[in-house]
């Protein structure tokens, strides 16, 4: 799909930051800087674009579910009312992969491509990667990108629901993790998960297993009102399965409607409960496997499902299926 009218949606982040008394801080006024720089990019063929800014611009370390929903609203307006046929979202790098994962599921069936990018150094700083990432993403859209959510960084076009930030001091900070993906694909996207359906904020939590974790700690987290818990398990989906109190806490939470999902802590891991008895015991509490999904994608998917109002059984059903390439090649 070749872009002819591009929505550039600016949310803040390092790419547009300027120096303040306390250090680099988000700043408005990026459209003028972008147009001035484009005039110097004489060797690039770029699509026409309109600029929208989500106010106030933020450091992406402050990213929240409310920000994700505001992005979706702005993207819908740009596509449905302004006639844009592609979107470039400018975003800070700290939570860029989380937003790419969440938007992959919040924008299911959107008929245009959405590219997210940012930079490791602010635009205008000597040696910055900002303009190369920004105009490189625009050029990719000009040449044609499939509908769906993608991340463009350091010259690479990456799958939005497979990407993670792996470094904090190099330009090639993002990569698709080589995880085993062989889940069953959904035959179609249900109407309840279409990008036009409204979403509500949801209380979610992420908890890694670690040696010495106590049942009381897990119980306290589950008692906080979470509707979904993403457990980062060892290896192929194991954990302290000899702790009867911990298993009971998980089972009780599942019984009262909490969605429990399991991912692997390993960078190249995937969850397969039946490999070890410890994994099978954990699964018996009601955990649903995330297969080879990343933390970022799994968290975003839980939000999209539960935020759409799905009940526990419905959310577990769709979580277990591949919706956009997050768990199946």
Q: What is the DSSP string of 178-244?
A: ----BPPBPSS--GGGSTTS------EEEEE--TT--HHHHHHHHTTT-SEEEEEEBTTTB--TT-H
Catalytic residue flag (residue 95): no
Instruction: Give φ, ψ of 228 to 5 degrees.
Output: -145, 135
Q: What predicted TM-score, i.e. pTM, was given to this entire model?
A: 0.94
Residue 108, token pair as written in the block: 């299911």
Angle between helices 295-307 and 65-80 (to 10 degrees): 70
* Alpha carbons 150 and 159: distance in angstroms, whole number: 5
Going residue by residue through the chain (329 aa), what tens digit of pLDDT does each one get?
788 899 999 999 999 888 777 777 788 889 999 999 999 988 888 999 999 999 999 999 999 999 999 999 999 999 999 999 999 999 999 999 999 999 999 999 999 999 999 999 999 899 999 999 999 999 999 999 999 999 999 999 999 999 999 998 899 999 988 777 777 788 889 999 999 999 999 999 999 999 999 999 999 999 999 999 999 999 888 889 889 999 999 999 999 999 999 999 988 888 887 676 667 888 889 999 998 899 999 999 999 999 999 999 999 999 999 999 997 76
List, by residue range, all CATH 3.40.50.1170 domains of the chain: 5-176
> Can you name the CATH fold of 191-319?
Rossmann fold (3.40.50)
Q: What is the H or E stretch that residue 255 is in?
A: helix 244-255
Question: Cα dihedral angle (50, 52, 57, 59), rounded to 10 degrees?
Answer: -60
CA 84 to chain centre: 22
Residue 146, classified by CB atoms within 10 Å of its CB into exposed (0-12), middle (13-18) or buried (19+), is exposed
DSSP string, 24-80: EE--S-HHHHHHHHHTT-TT----EEEEEEEEEEE-GGG--HHHHHHHHHHHHHHHH
Contacts of 212 (CB under 8 A, 6+ apart): none
* Alpha carbons 186 and 195: distance in angstroms, whole number: 16
Exactly one of 4, 11, 14, 93 is catalytic; name it. 14
List, by residue range, all CATH 3.40.50.40 domains of the chain: 191-319
Question: Cα dihedral angle (219, 222, 228, 232), rounded to 10 degrees?
Answer: -30
Residue 195 is classified by DSSP as T
Nearest to 305 by CA among 231, 252, 233, 227: 227
> Can you name the CATH fold of 5-176?
Rossmann fold (3.40.50)
């Amino acid at each position: 799909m070749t872009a002819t009218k591009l929505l550039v949606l600016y949310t803040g982040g390092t790419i547009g930051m300027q120096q303040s008394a306390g250090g680099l801080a988000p700043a408005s006024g990026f459209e003028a800087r972008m147009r001035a720089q484009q005039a110097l990019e004489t060797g690039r063929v770029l699509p026409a674009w309109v600029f929208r800014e989500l106010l106030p611009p933020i450091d992406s370390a402050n990213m929240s579910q409310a920000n994700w929903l505001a992005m979706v609203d702005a993207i819908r307006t740009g596509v449905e009312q302004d006639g844009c046929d592609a979107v470039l979202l400018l975003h800070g790098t700290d939570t860029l992969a989380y937003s790419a994962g969440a938007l992959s599921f919040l924008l299911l069936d959107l008929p245009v491509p959405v590219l997210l990018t940012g930079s490791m150094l602010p635009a205008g700083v000597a040696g910055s990667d900002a303009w190369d990432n920004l105009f490189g993403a625009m050029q990719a859209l000009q040449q044609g990108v499939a509908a769906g959510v993608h991340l463009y960084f350091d010259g690479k076009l990456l799958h939005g629901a497979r990407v993670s930030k792996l470094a904090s001091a190099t330009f090639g900070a993002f990569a698709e993790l080589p995880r085993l993906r062989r889940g069953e694909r959904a035959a179609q996207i249900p109407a309840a998960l279409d990008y036009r359906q409204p979403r509500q904020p949801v209380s979610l939590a992420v908890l890694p297993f670690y040696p010495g974790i106590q049942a009381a700690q897990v119980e306290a987290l589950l008692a906080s009102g979470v509707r979904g818990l993403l457990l980062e398990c060892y290896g192929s989906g194991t954990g302290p399965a000899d702790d009867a109190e911990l298993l009971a806490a998980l089972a009780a939470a599942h019984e009262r409607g909490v969605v429990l999902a399991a991912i692997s802590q390993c960078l190249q891991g995937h969850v397969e409960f039946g490999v070890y008895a410890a994994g099978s015991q954990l699964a018996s509490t009601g955990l649903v496997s995330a297969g080879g999904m990343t933390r970022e994608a799994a968290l975003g998917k839980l939000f999209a499902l539960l935020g759409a109002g799905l009940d526990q059984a419905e959310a577990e059903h769709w979580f277990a299926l591949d919706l956009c390439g997050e768990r199946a090649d």
